[in-house]
């Protein structure tokens, strides 16, 4: 029997196994002690306050607390809740000291007034039946600062700690996450991205358990950063190549095109281009070239081979085409006065820059193959461009296709019958091939690390440049230096973009459509969209810039000639201002002495280490569990070792098939590796599902330290558990926050000798909760007694006052030994009053004495129903409280903020992960340690009685039942996101039902940043055309109105590509360099469309409108994507670009207030019904 009881104590640490001690279910009569105290207050202290303090603290006063209002109950609660009275030592009461010490608004002699107030408080105490409704033997008071520092210790073979409570060093930092316990975890920072290219750098750890080994090596030390090798130093530019694109010249326009090439006044060659049957130009992707079309042998010997040290000023030069330049600048973008990069060469520059072999061996064959393919692939005339269907008056004859293909090919290739003909020089100095195609370099074709292999003198293999480790003593972080692109984007946002956003341009070019979004909120994204439009800006002739032409020539959506002229001229002025701003910024940057190099400190270069000191009270073979995450779904690792009090490493072992310890290597035994690839927070220990073969440390009684060492930069750690119980598995059973110990607990030690007549002490551990609004007491015990202790009903006084909600230990009643051990493993949670620096704690024992009786068997209280009190207003509870508990949806505050500001819609082809939607019963189910709502949902009477036990009838606002709604206590911070209408008052209050709402209530989904379905005909914008339907279809669709819009991601469709089905992205591109295997390159935000419920009418069971996350991710307002919430003097607001620059939480607080009022309305009705019986 004893073993069974011990096991029961072990599993109280797991909130979903067994039954830890229930918060005591108080009877209504017990709660009435608060009412008795209020009546005593009415006739003692209240008259003094009303007479002397009401001017500031009364009904019409403006000062808090409102302890002098005419309603004695409200005044009583204000005095008690704000700690103005100390029943244990009335002379220390704030009401007394304000008179005697502060001489605060005395009504006559301050000392006499203080004595009068002291006597009134003592009368209040005497008439209220004890200290705030309690009586017994009382200890002295202690503050937390007077406690003794201790270390965490095993309780029945287990200790659970917050990861952030360890002694952290090196790269480990405390960070926040909505789903981490206590909202905090530890991890190291990611390496800084390359400042010019915004490309990721790779961080790695190269050590065992000794984090300082090799720390002086700043390149290959314990923490390393690598990136793709560059041709000069860390601040150089990535290798890249661009593609030459050939546009086919209309056969009838070849001579005119050739003449245009020779005429410097002609820059528009489009009239000579050949078009297909759809009217599109026929283009051919041709060879890839370096920015200056340099020959491979020259590049390999003069550019690629040059390496300069990281902290050296680039100095080596090369000469090409008669110009001498820094090697450092070879791949740097070059911007001319037009704003276009210099290497976007025109046709003449390509002709002059490429060798004849390129035209002869590459471009000729590409043109020839294209013509062959057109005719080979055609099955009827519709497959052949109209201008290619007739040769010498004869239409292409499919009955003689083979001969016709050769005939038509020879005709359209003209005098280019073989490759050598391509480079025959005409009388004007141009090759024959130049009459057939127009050359250009496409800005969108720029790619890094792409091989260039057309040059017969040798391939330029850019992709062979592998990773190189960087010197962390001179890491290029960019400093204040910005790229030309960054400067252009920022100055665009200050000059030209405001003209767009101030006009009607935002209606189409900031609405999230497929049109260029150059008026969107984000300056960089808007600039990138503008830069992608050909001819968008022309610094040389602003009048020819595309948006100016749209105003002055096309009169495009500008509201008449006068308004269009005004806007056009504003744009011209803004373009001039933009050019000036770019030049000014570049000139200022050129004079900057900032090298952009940073030396990382020893701490930044040292792998993270977290150290936890703990005491083992129960010798045995211990496992170590970690709650951690590998966010990128790769295998992330940490290393562990345990040291004894002398600093010696304790060898670990891996159990064999029968559980006996074996060790595969000394290194593994001394420094154990833990590895996981879970993307979510998960508990892990090696061989997690095989109890007999888990890793073990054989620990005797004593003090140890656990060291957790960072071994991968992505690992995140939330909780640490050390346990010797084989059945312990937090991966399957949640651990309640109340059972998590403090790594460095503070122990309050109370001398009981004056209460017992001889030596004896009471000890209890205390810490401030993670939410900083309450205290968590645990591990109460008696120590150093001379005989057995007989005790009953332990209650805590905060500043001399007892709160009825603080009753976790009030049912303890037993005899224990002189050194009792832990009396109960349940935590006692107490709300802060004045704060950790000022709050004082004393304990009251209804019975406390030495006894010769034998020790009792420890028997934790099982959950009990409320006794002596039945619901008087059950119907009101059912219609105005129960729906809040089991039907109305909530989301975590932090998760809502993360999802709407950064997670949605995902980037680089990743999808967003929907928020999790909860109801109260999601957690308050059969496995919850305290309030098991689901246990009683089939019996509303019993559930109502359970709810009554969580009501403080002396002060409704302090009720446990409201703490979950308020998000106080150690309750998770949640937003009610489903706002349900309520009607009626008093006992007739109820939530409004609705048959057209899927939830059954007239509700609205909230969240300013989230989009909802509305009625209308614009299906793509999330509108539902109800007028087009009737009957059951209309009823189905009606239920979606007001619910969150869901998205469907767009995908790349090409069965020839291994990327078929990949998500399309804003800046994605198709790589056709290998025509047999096209690849889709994902870049930027993932693209999506709004999913329509109208498409589900034939399969309505597939989408339940009452499930807020069914059928896709929830859509976020495009103006809010990537826009962080802002903190303005402690208020979290939405920036004006996304919301209304107002308190974002207010809409959620309004819902909480509505639901809180509904619960209090029921409480008041219960109280009235009880008093009137």
Q: How far is the C-alpha of 626 from the C-alpha of 65, rounded, in Å?
A: 46
Mean pLDDT of 1109-1134: 79
Q: Could you tell me the CA-to-CA distances from 62 to 69, 96, 955 in Å, in that order?
A: 11, 22, 21
Higher pLDDT, 80 or 714: 714
Beta-bridge partner residues of 372: none
Instruction: Return the pLDDT at 1108.
Output: 84
Higher pLDDT, 5 or 1111: 1111
Mean pLDDT of 740-748: 84
Q: How far is the C-alpha of 512 from the C-alpha of 273, rounded, in Å?
A: 33
Cis bond upstream, residue 152 (ω within 30) = no
What is the DSSP pairing of strand 716-723 with strand 702-710?
unpaired
Instruction: Return the pLDDT at 19.
Output: 30
What confidence tier does 865 reach under pLDDT thresholds 50, 70, 90? Answer: very low
607-620 residue pLDDT tens:
999 999 999 988 99
Percent of the chain with pLDDT over 90: 24
705 Rama sector, left if φ>0, alpha if ψ -120 to 50, beta otherwise:
beta
- Which has the closest alpha carbon to 765: 750, 787, 786, 785? 750
Highest mean pLDDT among 466-480, 915-929, 1153-1167: 1153-1167
Q: Can you list the pairs that 206-212 forms with residues at least 24 positions away whose Cβ atoms lie under 8 Å?
A: 207/607, 207/709, 207/711, 208/639, 208/667, 208/671, 209/639, 209/641, 209/670, 209/671, 209/707, 209/709, 211/169, 211/170, 211/606, 211/607, 211/608, 211/609, 211/709, 211/710, 212/606
Q: How far is the C-alpha of 767 from the C-alpha of 288, rounded, in Å?
A: 66
Percent of the chain with pLDDT over 70: 84
Q: How far is the C-alpha of 628 from the C-alpha of 688, rounded, in Å?
A: 14
Q: How far is the C-alpha of 534 from the C-alpha of 556, rounded, in Å?
A: 18
- Whether the per-residue pLDDT at 866 is higher than 70: the answer is no
- Whether the per-residue pLDDT at 1170 is higher than 80: the answer is no
* DSSP annotation of 1064: P
Instruction: Return the pLDDT at 668.
Output: 64
- Whether the per-residue pLDDT at 350 is higher than 60: the answer is yes
- Written as six digits, the tokens of 166 are 């360890």
Mean pLDDT of 908-926: 81
* DSSP annotation of 580: H
- Written as six digits, the tokens of 222 are 């314990």
Higher pLDDT, 965 or 171: 171
- Report the chain's C-alpha Rg in angstroms: 39
What confidence tier does 131 reach under pLDDT thresholds 50, 70, 90? Answer: very low
**Which residues in 55-67 are b (16+ Cβ under 10 Å) and which e?**
eebbeeeeeebbb
- Whether the per-residue pLDDT at 147 is higher than 80: the answer is yes
**Of 249-263, 403-417, 589-603, 786-800, which gets the smallest average pLDDT?**
589-603
516-553 residue pLDDT tens:
888 888 888 888 788 777 678 888 899 998 899 989 98
- Written as six digits, the tokens of 1046 are 């869901």
Q: Are 520 and 536 in contact (CB under 8 A)?
A: no
Instruction: Return the pLDDT at 14.
Output: 32
The answer to whether the pTM exceeds 0.75 is no
Domain boundaries, the chain: 43-133, 139-150+745-851, 158-188+608-639+655-739, 242-277+323-458, 484-591, 865-1010+1116-1173
3-state SS, residue 368: helix
Instruction: Return the pLDDT at 732.
Output: 64
Instruction: Return the pLDDT at 861.
Output: 33
Residues 6 or more apart in contact with residue 133 via CB below 8 angstroms? 33, 34, 36, 37, 802, 804
What confidence tier does 666 reach under pLDDT thresholds 50, 70, 90? Answer: low
What confidence tier does 1131 reach under pLDDT thresholds 50, 70, 90? Answer: low
What confidence tier does 1047 reach under pLDDT thresholds 50, 70, 90? Answer: very high
- Whether the per-residue pLDDT at 830 is higher than 80: the answer is yes
**Of 35-39, 67-71, 228-232, 378-382, which gets the smallest average pLDDT?**
228-232
Q: How far is the C-alpha of 264 from the C-alpha of 675, rounded, in Å?
A: 66
Mean pLDDT of 437-443: 86
Q: Write down the architecture of domain 158-188+608-639+655-739 according to CATH.
A: Sandwich (2.60)
């Amino acid at each position: 029997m004893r073993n069974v009881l011990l096991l029961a104590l072990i599993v109280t640490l797991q909130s979903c196994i067994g039954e830890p001690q229930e918060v005591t279910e108080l009877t209504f009569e017990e709660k009435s002690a608060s009412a008795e105290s209020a009546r005593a207050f009415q006739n003692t202290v209240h008259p003094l306050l009303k007479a002397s303090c009401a001017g500031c603290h009364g009904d019409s006063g403006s000062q808090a607390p409102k302890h002098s209002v005419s309603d004695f109950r409200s005044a009583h609660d204000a005095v008690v809740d704000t700690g103005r009275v100390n029943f244990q030592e009335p002379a220390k009461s704030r009401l007394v000291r304000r008179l005697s010490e502060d001489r605060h608004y005395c009504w006559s002699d301050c000392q006499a007034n203080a004595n009068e107030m002291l006597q009134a408080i003592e009368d209040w105490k005497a008439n209220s039946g004890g200290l705030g409704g309690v009586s017994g033997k009382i200890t002295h008071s202690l503050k937390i600062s007077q406690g003794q520092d201790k270390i965490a210790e095993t309780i029945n073979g287990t200790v659970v700690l917050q990861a952030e409570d360890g002694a952290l060093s090196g790269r480990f930092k405390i960070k926040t996450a909505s789903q981490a316990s206590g909202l905090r975890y530890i991890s190291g920072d990611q390496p800084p991205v390359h400042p010019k290219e915004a490309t990721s750098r790779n961080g790695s750890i190269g050590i065992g358990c000794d984090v300082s080994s090799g720390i002086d090596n700043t390149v290959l030390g314990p923490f390393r950063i690598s990136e793709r090798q560059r041709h000069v130093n860390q601040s150089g530019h990535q290798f890249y190549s661009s593609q030459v694109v050939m546009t086919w010249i209309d056969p009838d326009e070849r001579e005119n095109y050739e003449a245009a090439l020779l005429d410097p006044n002609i820059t528009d060659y489009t009239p000579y281009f050949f078009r297909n049957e759809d009217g599109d130009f026929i283009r051919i992707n041709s060879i890839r070239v370096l920015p200056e079309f340099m020959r491979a042998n020259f590049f390999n010997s003069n550019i690629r081979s040059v390496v300069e040290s990281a902290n050296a000023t680039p100095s080596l030069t090369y000469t090409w085409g008669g110009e001498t330049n820094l090697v450092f600048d070879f791949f740097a973008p070059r911007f001319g006065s037009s704003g276009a990069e210099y290497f976007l060469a025109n046709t003449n520059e390509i002709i002059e820059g490429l060798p004849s072999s390129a035209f002869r061996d590459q471009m000729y064959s590409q043109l020839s193959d294209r013509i062959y393919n057109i005719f080979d692939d055609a099955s009827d005339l519709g497959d052949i461009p109209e201008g290619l269907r007739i040769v010498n008056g004869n239409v292409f004859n499919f009955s003689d296709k083979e001969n016709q293909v050769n005939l038509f090919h020879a005709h359209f290739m003209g005098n280019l019958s073989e490759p050598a003909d391509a480079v025959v020089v005409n009388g004007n100095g141009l090759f024959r091939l130049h009459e057939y195609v127009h050359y250009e370099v496409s800005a969108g074709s720029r790619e890094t690390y792409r091989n260039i292999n057309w040059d017969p003198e040798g391939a330029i293999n850019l992709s062979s440049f592998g990773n190189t480790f960087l010197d962390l003593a001179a890491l290029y972080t960019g400093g204040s230096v910005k790229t030309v692109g960054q400067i252009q984007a920022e100055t665009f946002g200050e000059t030209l973009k405001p003209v767009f956003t101030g006009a009607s341009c935002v209606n189409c070019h900031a609405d999230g459509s497929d049109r260029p979004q150059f008026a969107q909120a984000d300056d960089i994204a808007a600039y990138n969209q503008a830069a992608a439009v050909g001819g968008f800006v022309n610094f040389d002739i602003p009048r020819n810039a595309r948006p100016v032409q749209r105003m002055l020539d096309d009169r495009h959506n500008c509201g008449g000639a006068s308004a269009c002229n005004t806007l056009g001229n504003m744009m011209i002025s803004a373009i001039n201002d933009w050019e000036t701003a770019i030049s000014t910024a570049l000139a200022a940057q050129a004079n900057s002495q900032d090298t952009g190099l940073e030396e990382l400190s020893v701490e930044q270069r040292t792998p993270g280490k977290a150290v936890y000191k703990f005491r083992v009270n129960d010798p045995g073979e211990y496992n170590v569990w970690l709650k951690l995450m590998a966010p990128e779904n790769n295998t992330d690792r940490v290393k562990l070792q345990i040291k004894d009090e002398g600093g010696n490493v304790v060898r670990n072992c891996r159990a064999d098939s029968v559980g006996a310890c074996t060790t595969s290597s000394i290194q593994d035994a001394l420094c154990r590796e833990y590895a996981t690839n879970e993307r979510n927070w998960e508990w892990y220990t090696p061989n997690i599902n095989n109890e007999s073969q888990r890793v073990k440390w054989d620990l005797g009684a004593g003090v140890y330290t656990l060291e957790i060492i960072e071994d991968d930069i992505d690992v995140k750690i939330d909780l640490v558990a050390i346990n010797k119980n084989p059945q312990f598995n937090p991966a399957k059973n949640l651990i309640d926050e109340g059972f998590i110990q403090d790594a460095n607990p503070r122990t309050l030690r109370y001398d009981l000798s004056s209460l017992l007549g001889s030596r004896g002490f009471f000890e209890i551990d205390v810490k401030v909760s993670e939410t900083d609004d309450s205290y968590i007491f645990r591990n109460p015990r008696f120590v150093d007694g001379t005989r057995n202790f007989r005790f009953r009903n332990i209650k805590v006084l905060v500043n001399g006052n007892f709160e009825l909600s603080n009753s976790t230990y009030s049912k303890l009643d037993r005899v224990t030994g002189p050194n009792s051990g832990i009396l109960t493993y349940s935590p006692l949670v107490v709300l802060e009053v004045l704060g950790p620096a000022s709050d004082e704690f004393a304990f009251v024992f209804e019975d406390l004495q030495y006894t010769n009786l034998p020790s009792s068997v420890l028997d934790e209280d099982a959950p009990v129903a409320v006794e002596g009190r039945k619901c008087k207003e059950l119907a009101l509870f059912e219609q105005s409280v129960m729906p809040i508990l089991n039907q109305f949806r909530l989301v975590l505050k932090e998760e809502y903020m993360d999802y709407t500001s950064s997670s949605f819609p995902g980037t680089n082809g990743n999808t967003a992960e929907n928020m999790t939607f909860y109801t109260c019963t999601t957690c308050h189910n059969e496995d919850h340690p305290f309030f098991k709502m689901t246990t009683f949902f089939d019996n509303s009477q019993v559930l109502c009685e359970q709810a009554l036990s969580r009501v403080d009838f002396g002060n409704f606002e302090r009720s446990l039942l409201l703490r979950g709604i308020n998000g106080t206590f150690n309750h998770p911070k949640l937003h009610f996101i489903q706002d349900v209408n309520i009607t009626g008052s008093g006992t007739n209050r109820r939530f409004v039902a609705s048959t057209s709402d899927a939830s059954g209530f007239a509700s609205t989904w909230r969240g300013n940043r989230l989009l909802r379905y509305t009625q209308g005909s614009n299906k793509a914008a999330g509108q539902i055309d109800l007028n087009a339907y009737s009957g059951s279809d209309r009823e189905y669709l009606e239920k979606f109105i007001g619910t969150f819009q869901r998205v469907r991601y767009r995908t790349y469709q090409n069965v020839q590509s291994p990327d078929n089905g990949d998500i399309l992205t804003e800046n994605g591109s198709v790589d056709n360099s290998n025509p047999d295997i096209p690849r889709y390159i994902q870049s930027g935000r993932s693209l999506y469309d709004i999913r329509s419920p109208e498409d589900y009418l034939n399969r309505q069971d597939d989408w339940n409108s009452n499930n807020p996350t069914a059928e896709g991710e929830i859509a976020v307002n495009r103006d809010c994507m990537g826009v962080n919430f802002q903190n303005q003097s402690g208020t979290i607001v939405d920036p004006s670009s996304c919301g209304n620059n107002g308190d974002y939480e207010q809409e959620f607080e309004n819902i909480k207030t509505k639901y809180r009022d509904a619960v209090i309305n029921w409480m008041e009705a219960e109280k009235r019904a009880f008093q009137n019986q």
